[in-house]
Amino acid sequence: MADVRIRPVTELDIEAICRIDERITGKYRPDAWEDRVIYYIRRDPDSSQVAEIGGRVVGFMLGEVRGGEFGLEEPTGWVEFFGVLPDARDKGVGRSLIEALLARFKSQGAHVARTMVRSEDKDIDAFIRRNGFAPAPVTALEKRL
């Protein structure tokens, strides 16, 4: 595995996160990422992490502990946004990030971690399952407005 450093996200990482998202999605969305990163830092400053290789931010994972979703009152660690630069993949960066989030969730009293994956995102689904997640007994429903 490459020499990966995992550390909590700060507001100084917003630009790097925005650039990683741009590499993945082709969309440059600085305002959206500023709002999003600040939201996670305010709500749960310990959980969300970035990964550095040689001092360069190559990946991020945002999440938080909350309860009450789906009538499930237990504290749940939610894994919500993540990305690793294409040239830094397959080196264990994603795994190091998710392991760090899961450890933070556990230390905050969560006994379960959850995430949602779109059916068409096969790569993300495979990554999440490789990291020990299994289908949950809930049904996702939606209504177009």
Ligand X SMILES: CC(C)(COP(=O)(O)OP(=O)(O)OC[C@H]1O[C@@H](n2cnc3c(N)ncnc32)[C@H](O)[C@@H]1OP(=O)(O)O)[C@@H](O)C(=O)NCCC(=O)NCCS
Q: Which residues contribute to the site for ligand X (CB under 6 A)?
A: 21, 24, 81-84, 89-95, 123-124, 126-127, 130
What angle do helix axes 14-25 and 30-43 make, rounded to 10 degrees?
Answer: 130
Exposed e or buried b for every residue in 56-83, given b needs 16+ CB within 10 A? ebbbbbbbbbeeeeeeeeeebbbbbebb
Choose between 82 and 105: whose C-beta lies nearer to ligand X: 82
Choose between 78 and 109: whose C-beta lies nearer to ligand X: 78
Nearest residue by C-beta to ligand X?
Answer: 94
Name the minimum Å distance from CB 71 to ligand X.
26
Name the minimum Å distance from CB 73 to ligand X.
27
Choose between 24 and 112: whose C-beta lies nearer to ligand X: 24
Name the minimum Å distance from CB 39 to ligand X.
14
Residues β-bridged to residue 63: 79
Choose between 21 and 44: whose C-beta lies nearer to ligand X: 21
Q: DSSP letter string over 82-117?
A: EEE-GGGTTSSHHHHHHHHHHHHHHHTT-SEEE---
Name the minimum Å distance from CB 13 to ligand X.
15
